[in-house]
Each structure stands twice: as C-alpha cells, then as structure tokens.
Chains A and B, each alone.
Chain A
Amino acid sequence: GAVVSQHPSWVICKSGTSVKIECRSLDFQATTMFWYRQFPKQSLMLMATSNEGSKATYEQGVEKDKFLINHASLTLSTLTVTSAHPEDSSFYICSAMGGGLETQYFGPGTRLLVL
C-alpha cells in the first residue's frame, strides 16, 4: 500500500502555543489530503479536506482560524493548531489519496497534549 508519514508523532506543549503537524505522502502524489481528530475511545472525526493548491474545506463546527491547513504541494500538507488549549489535546491523523489510489491511506498520527 501507499505510505504516508506524519511528524511529529508526539507533541507536549503549553497552553497558548501553536503546534504544526506535517503530513507527507512518500510514494505517491496526494491530490487530496484529509485531517481527522480522534478523542480516546471515540470514532474518527473528519476535520477538513484539502486539495493541492486550494483552500481546505472544513467540516461543520471546525474553526478554520484555529486549525490552519496548508496543502501547498502534492506530497505535503500541514495542520497548525493555533493557540492550543487543553481541550485541543487529541490524536490527529492525516490521510491522503491520489495517484490512482482507490482509497485513503493514513499517516501514523500525532498525539497532542496541551498542558
């Protein structure tokens, strides 16, 4: 299957800090990337969908000014959690699709803990 990486895998930060998470497709060109959030023992929640070179489409209830998404190239998308607060602590997972792939492939996720 296709390989998607995410960096960093863990982040612990103070409240008010901005945190940037990178998602890369390593062996295919990702025309579309997705960002999800998952709280403990809950299901995946889609936050936003981004197409390369376009503005991201956010799901209802997700603040676009709080969660900044950039998809500037076919292999890289970034999610920046601005002024993170403890309630933003979660497991953030990206996925990517493109290059003829029929479905999404997920990155390993980033655990964010805001103190």
Chain B
Amino acid sequence: RKEVEQDPGPFNVPEGATVAFNCTYSNSASQSFFWYRQDCRKEPKLLMSVYSSGNEDGRFTAQLNRASQYISLLIRDSKLSDSATYLCVVSNNDMRFGAGTRLTVKP
C-alpha cells in the first residue's frame, strides 16, 4: 500500500462547479499535512496547510480526519485558473507526496 494515495483523476468540471479531492495516508503517526498545487511543467507550490480543526482560504477548504486517516480539499466556484494537479503531502519528519489529482476546469 502506498504511503499517500490520491485518486489520479482527471476531474473535468465546468467553471463555477464545486469539486472535492480526497487523500488517504497509511502512517497514523503523521503530524503535518499540506496541499500543493503543480501547474503543467512547473514546480509544486504550497497551496495550504491542513489543520485538525479544518481551515479555509477563500474558495479552498481543507479538512483532516485523523481517525480515518484522510485529508480532503474542497474547491468552490471553480475558476479556469484552478486547472492544475493537486498534491497531497503528509509528514512525520519525512514528507511524503501523493501522486496528485489532475483537475481541468472548462468554460
């Protein structure tokens, strides 16, 4: 079993849609969680950290469920510019990246 698993997608959604990604992790001792975004042919960039109580940054909401060992990212009112690959990252001293979920937002 992979340490961090994500649905690879692709997710193709129309502008304005709400889309959610899930990510599961195997190491119950993991302490820190993040979502990164990677545009085509670019480096990954930190999108947001994920806190136990859940956190929101504009149209983006991240949640953590430690009991079930999964993390989610919700994007509301999708924009064309949200098209990218979203990487789930789990850390317990070592950071482990998921393979990413590809999102395409269409007009």
Number of A-B pairs whose CB atoms are under 8 Å? Answer: 36
| CB-based contact A102/B42 at 8 Å | no
Q: What residues of A have a CB within 8 angstroms of the CB of B94 in the complex?
A: 49
Q: What residues of B have a CB within 8 angstroms of the CB of A91 in the complex?
A: 41
B62 proximal to A (CB < 8 A): no
A94 to B45, CA, bound (A): 12
Q: What residues of B have a CB within 8 angstroms of the CB of A103 in the complex?
A: 32, 34, 46, 49, 89, 91, 95
| CB-based contact B95/A108 at 8 Å | no
| CB-based contact B97/A102 at 8 Å | no
| CB-based contact B43/A108 at 8 Å | yes
Shortest beta-carbon distance from A4 to chain B in Å? 9
Shortest beta-carbon distance from A27 to chain B in Å? 15
Q: Encode contact with B along A78-115: 1 for CB under 8 Å, 0 otherwise.
A: 00000000000001010001000011111111000000
| CB-based contact A43/B91 at 8 Å | no
| CB-based contact B43/A107 at 8 Å | yes
User: For chain B, what secondary structure do more than half of its interface residues adopt (helix, strand, loop), or is it mixed?
Assistant: strand
| CB-based contact B95/A104 at 8 Å | yes
Shortest beta-carbon distance from A61 to chain B in Å? 16
Known: A106-B44, A108-B43; 10 extra A-B contacts, CB below 8 A, are: A43-B99, A44-B87, A44-B97, A46-B97, A49-B94, A91-B41, A103-B89, A104-B95, A106-B43, A106-B45
Binding site for A on B (CB under 8 A): 32, 34, 41-46, 49, 87, 89, 91, 94-95, 97-100
Of the A-B pairs whose beta carbons lie under 8 Å apart in the complex, a sample of 25, sorted by A's number, is A1-B45, A43-B97, A43-B98, A43-B99, A44-B87, A44-B97, A46-B97, A91-B41, A93-B43, A93-B44, A102-B32, A102-B49, A103-B32, A103-B34, A103-B46, A103-B89, A103-B91, A104-B95, A105-B46, A106-B43, A106-B44, A106-B45, A107-B43, A109-B42, A109-B43
Nearest 6 interchain pairs by C-beta: A43-B99, A106-B43, A109-B43, A93-B43, A106-B44, A103-B34
